[in-house]
Structure 1
Amino acid sequence: MSVATVGVCALEALLPERGVAALFGDTQIALFRTHDGQVFAIGNQDPYSGANVMSRGIVGSRGDVPTVASPMFKQVFDLRTGVCLDDPDVSLPVYPVSVVDGQVVVGSGDQ
Structure 2
Amino acid sequence: MTPATETQWTAVCAAGDILPDTGVCALVDGVHVAIFRVGQQQDFYAIDNVDPKAGASVLSRGLVGSIGERIVVASPLYKNHFDLRSGECIEAPEHSVRAHEVRLQEGRVLVALA
Question: Do the structures match in fold with TM over 0.5?
Answer: yes
Measured against aligned partners, the alpha-carbon deviations of 1:53-85 in whole angstroms (never above 9, x if no partner) come to: 001101000112110000001000100000011
Q: Which residue of 57, 65, 69 maps to 1:60?
A: 65
2:38 equivalent to 1:34: yes
Measured against aligned partners, the alpha-carbon deviations of 1:8-56 in whole angstroms (never above 9, x if no partner) come to: 1110001011110111011111110001431011111001000000011
Larger Rg: 2
CA shift for structure 1 position 101: 1.2
Say which SS state the counterpart of residue 66 (structure 1) adopts: strand
CA shift for structure 1 position 88: 2.1
Match in the other structure for 2:6? 2
TM-score (norm 1): 0.93
How many Å separate the matches in 2 of 1:85 and 1:53?
17
- Give the RMSD, CA atoms, in angstroms: 1.0
The structure whose residues are more often strand, as a share, is: 2
TM-score (norm 2): 0.91
**Any runs of at least 4 consecutive aligned residues in structure 1 with deviations exceeding 6 A, and if so which?**
none
1:14 partner letter: I
Match in the other structure for 1:75? 80
Match in the other structure for 2:28? 24
Identity, % of aligned positions: 40
